[in-house]
């Protein structure tokens, strides 16, 4: 599943489409009448966490790539085309195997930008308060909570916890406040580092633990485990990362 930085990178690539008009549509998206987009100019391109937003007059196309979604720009590929947007000037955007819907309300009434870790309105103090309001929750689950950290996914979660030397099964109530604040602040830095990594075509060396085999410090095999209520696969080092309390089985 693409994480927030990947969606921000897509936004940067699609920005040149702004002011172009849609001249044709294609795909099996069925939640709205795609023909409504014809002759509409693209006014803006935005992101919210893992959601990609194409803004047209009085409506916004929302795209969530889910687990297996993908896209092409000015080319096509095999696969289930969910939405194809064809603009004047022979420019096109194609989205595959994703969820597509239409929003008609103002985006500021739908989204809380203060929880979007890469948005200028991101509010780390509020994120810290929300964390502390979930004392019995594992930190791995909390970091994936899009109502607290919109845009953070499994990769960023694993790397953040490894950098902070915090075990993913640690309960929030047992983690020192200073450490929680550090994790909250580092979400932003790690997300922008991830964006730079994407732009550089993902060179080796950025990922310390996610989808790796051994710890870069002690060279012991990493633990790979489905953690928390979310049951998302986590990569971590039992030696380097401290367990602050645990949920009783």
pLDDT in tens, 193-242: 999 999 998 888 899 999 999 999 988 999 999 999 989 999 999 999 99
Q: Does the pLDDT of residue 19 top 80, yes or no?
A: yes
Q: Across-strand partners of 52?
A: 47, 63
Q: Does the pLDDT of residue 74 top 60, yes or no?
A: yes
The whole-number pLDDT of residue 79 equals 87
The whole-number pLDDT of residue 248 equals 55
Kindly state the average pLDDT of the residues 17-34.
96
Per-domain boundaries in the chain: 4-110, 113-236
Residues with Cβ < 8 Å from 16, sequence gap 6 or more? none
Question: Which listed CATH number (1.10.3720.10, 3.30.450.20, 1.10.8.50, 1.20.1290.10) goes with 113-236?
Answer: 1.10.8.50
CA gap 208, 226 in Å, rounded: 18
User: pTM to 2 decimals?
Assistant: 0.93
**Cβ pair 55, 22 in contact under 8 A:** no
Q: Across-strand partners of 83?
A: 95
**Check whether domain 4-110 has CATH 3.20.190.10, yes or no:** yes
**How does residue 246 score in pLDDT terms, banded at 50, 70 and 90?**
low
pLDDT digits (tens, 9 = 90+) for 133-188: 999 999 999 999 999 999 999 999 999 999 999 999 999 999 999 999 999 999 99
Give, in order, the Cα–Cα distances in Å from 59 to each of 32, 53, 98, 248. 11, 10, 19, 48
**Cβ pair 39, 185 in contact under 8 A:** no
């Amino acid at each position: 599943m693409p994480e927030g930085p990947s969606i921000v990178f897509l936004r940067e690539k699609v920005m040149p489409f702004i002011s172009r008009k849609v001249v044709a549509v294609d795909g099996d998206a069925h939640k709205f009448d795609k023909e409504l987009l014809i002759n509409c100019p693209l006014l803006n391109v935005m992101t919210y966490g893992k959601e990609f937003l194409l803004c047209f007059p009085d409506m916004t196309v929302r795209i969530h790539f889910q687990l297996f979604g993908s896209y092409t720009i000015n080319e096509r590929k095999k696969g289930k085309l969910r939405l194809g947007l064809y603009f004047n000037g022979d420019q096109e955007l194609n989205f595959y195997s994703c969820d597509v819907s239409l929003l008609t309300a103002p985006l500021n009434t739908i989204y809380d930008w203060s929880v979007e870790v890469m948005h200028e309105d991101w509010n780390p103090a509020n994120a810290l308060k929300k964390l502390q309001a979930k004392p019995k929750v594992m930190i791995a689950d909390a970091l994936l909570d899009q109502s607290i950290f919109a845009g953070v996914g499994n990769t960023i979660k694993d790397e953040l916890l490894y950098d902070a030397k915090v075990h993913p099964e640690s309960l929030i109530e047992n983690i020192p406040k200073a450490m929680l604040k550090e994790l909250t602040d580092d979400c932003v830095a790690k997300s922008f580092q991830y964006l730079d990594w994407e732009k550089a075509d993902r060179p080796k060396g950025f990922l310390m633990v996610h989808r790796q085999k051994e710890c870069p410090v002690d060279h012991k095999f990493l633990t790979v485990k489905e953690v928390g209520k979310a049951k998302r696969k986590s990569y971590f080092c039992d030696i380097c990362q401290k367990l602050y309390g645990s949920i009783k089985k």
